[in-house]
Chains A and B, each alone.
Chain A
Amino acid sequence: EPEVTQTPSHQVTQMGQEVILRCVPISNHLYFYWYRQILGQKVEFLVSFYNNEISEKSEIFDDQFSVERPDGSNFTLKIRSTKLEDSAMYFCASSEHTPSNQPQHFGDGTRLSIL
């Protein structure tokens, strides 16, 4: 069964450094998302992306964050200058069509640790 793949599985970065998290969504999917889960807390929405542009973002997704679909298969999340509070599990998800009637499928996540 097709799946969303994320790399790396674990990323350790010094505070203030830039980090790029990578995702390969399911190939025929059109909508892409990033979520994060701080340890012990709820999964939180960050951003959704459709037709090569951001369609929605949360208040968490400030100027330090950016997303990109650099080619036909990858979807990336960049954090420009990491903070300690960015430590979390970051999940990429994709859906085939408009999310109002299609499930979102999640990857296994990237655990980001900021030192």
Chain B
Amino acid sequence: KQEVTQIPAALSVPEGENLVLNCSFTDSAIYNLQWFRQDPGKGLTSLLLIQSSQREQTSGRLNASLDKSSGRSTLYIAASQPGDSATYLCAVTGGGNKLTFGTGTQLKVEL
């Protein structure tokens, strides 16, 4: 059974800092990995999707990497801003259609 873990569970950084969020998964037989952002009481906003054959994807200040063989992904956020404060979730698609989600990292970017 696929298990997805994210560390740290919470992170507080000053504005402008670069930061890395980590995601690990137990079964490397995945089709893709998706990073989401969740604001309090809101839905999930898709940030990046990395196919299993890819090593990284970039969107603006966000860069996600994938090391499928070791079961790891990172989300790098450059020059963090207070508006980046949210919970960040990673999720993998394995056999079948479903996403298996991680526990999330709650990020706070302070002025």
Query: How many of A's residues come within 8 Å of B, CB to CB?
Result: 29
Docked Cα-Cα span, A107 to B17, in Å, equals: 31
Q: Are B98 and A33 in contact (CB under 8 A)?
A: yes
- Contact check: which of A31, A43, A48, A100 meets B32 at CB < 8 Å? A100
Give the contacts of B3-55 with A (CB-CB under 8 A): 31-32, 34, 36, 41-46, 49, 51
- Contact check: which of B44, B45, B96, B97 meets A43 at CB < 8 Å? B44
- Chain A residues within 8 Å of B, Cβ to Cβ: 4, 6, 31, 33, 35, 42-45, 48, 50, 55-56, 58, 91, 93, 98-109, 111
Q: Are A103 and B49 in contact (CB under 8 A)?
A: yes
Please indicate the chain B residues that have their CB under 8 angstroms from the CB of A93 in the complex.
44
B100 at the interface (CB under 8 A from A): yes
Q: Are A101 and B46 in contact (CB under 8 A)?
A: no
- Chain B residues within 8 Å of A, Cβ to Cβ: 31-32, 34, 36, 41-46, 49, 51, 89, 91, 93, 96-104
Chain B binding surface SS class: strand
26 contacts between A and B (CB under 8 A): A6-B43, A31-B97, A33-B99, A35-B99, A42-B102, A42-B103, A42-B104, A43-B99, A43-B101, A45-B100, A50-B97, A55-B97, A56-B96, A56-B98, A58-B98, A91-B43, A99-B93, A99-B99, A100-B32, A100-B93, A103-B34, A103-B46, A104-B99, A105-B46, A109-B42, A109-B43
